[in-house]
Structure 1
Amino acid sequence: MNPEDIEAIERRLGYIFKDKSLLLRALTRKAAAKEQSEQGQSCEDQEVFRTLGDAILKAILTDLLIENGCTTRGSITQKKQTLEDEKTLGEMLRTMGIAPIVGIGERIIGVHETTYALAETFEALVAAVYKDGGYDVITALVTKWFSNLIN
């Protein structure tokens, strides 16, 4: 990935990474990392970032829903499920214009067009921003990204 692509992604996310390797890892799917590894190149994939990003996203969305008037566990759970489902997260990356870049090494097979891959990458990006900038930074970004869906 060239510096212009990285700059474009950062601009679309609204966050400039101090450690660009975190961004690259968030965009690298497991198959692509394996391919690079087989060619003797060191490459980490997004898998663990997806798990971390999912947990962070759940916490932030739950807090935002409480702040915006959800008062029962049931209402929080129902609304949070809608906000964090594959379609919503995938559409976020499409809207940001990041979808065409997803799946480093796998674009030839169209992985960047699959909703599940976009949703997983969204979660990985949440983790990457968290690791690079901290909880307050990712909270501000998630709030910005989801504000029109929550209000």
Structure 2
Amino acid sequence: MKLEDIAAIEQQLYYTFETKEFLIRALTRKAFAQEQIQQGVACQDQELDRILGDAILKAILVEMLIQQGCKSREAVTTEKSRLESRENLGKVLEAMKIQQFIRLGKGEKKQGIGNQSSVLGETFEALVAAIYLDSNSYEKTKELVIDLFSRTAAAASL
């Protein structure tokens, strides 16, 4: 990944990575990584980061919704489900205009899955993990995630 691409992504995230590898890994799909490994190039993918990012995102959203006045478990659960849906997370990522930097496998590119909400949502989750791992701070991650949501039309009701 080119340095200017990393700089453009960081500008959209309003976050500068100390460890650029966290960002690159978050943008790397498993198929791309496997193709690189087959060519003898070490490459990590976003798969485990998506799991961590999903868990962190759930905690941030619950905390945010309670702070915003959701008074019942049902209200929190309903709104959290809407916000964390792959479709909504995909819209948040699209608003950042960084989907062209997702590293897809050749087959994925041919299938045109780079703009599918599931791919975008998974990548958003991986980015949450990357920010968390790089900053070593839940609070910093929470601040950035809330900012990203507030900058998108997908979260206009917040």
Pair in the same fold by TM > 0.5: yes
Structure 1 counterpart of 2:144: 141
Partner-residue secondary structure (3-state), 1:41: coil
Paired with 1:114 and 1:92, the residues of 2 have a C-alpha distance of 13
Q: Which runs of 5+ in 2 are unaligned?
A: none
Q: What's the CA shift string for 1:65-118, capped at 9, x where partnerless?
A: 000000111100000000010111111111110111113444732232111100
Structure 2 residue 73 is the aligned partner of structure 1 residue 70: no
Equivalent position of 2:60 in the other structure: 60
Contact 1:27–1:121 (8 Å) recurs in 2: yes
Give deviations 1:11-47, integer Å, cap 9, x for gaps. Answer: 0011000000000000000011000000011111000
Counterpart of 1:54, as a letter, is D
**Structure 1 portions without partners, runs of 5+:** none
Q: Is the 8 A contact 1:103 1:111 kept in 2?
A: no
SS at match of 2:24: helix
Instruction: Check if 1:10 corresponds to 2:10.
Output: yes
TM-score, normalising length: structure 2: 0.91
Deviation at 1:124, TM superposition (A): 0.1
Question: After the TM superposition, which of the residue ranges 104-113 and 140-149 deviates more from structure 2?
Answer: 104-113
TM-score, normalised to structure 1's length?
A: 0.95
- Kindly tell me the number of residue pairs found equivalent between the two proteins: 151
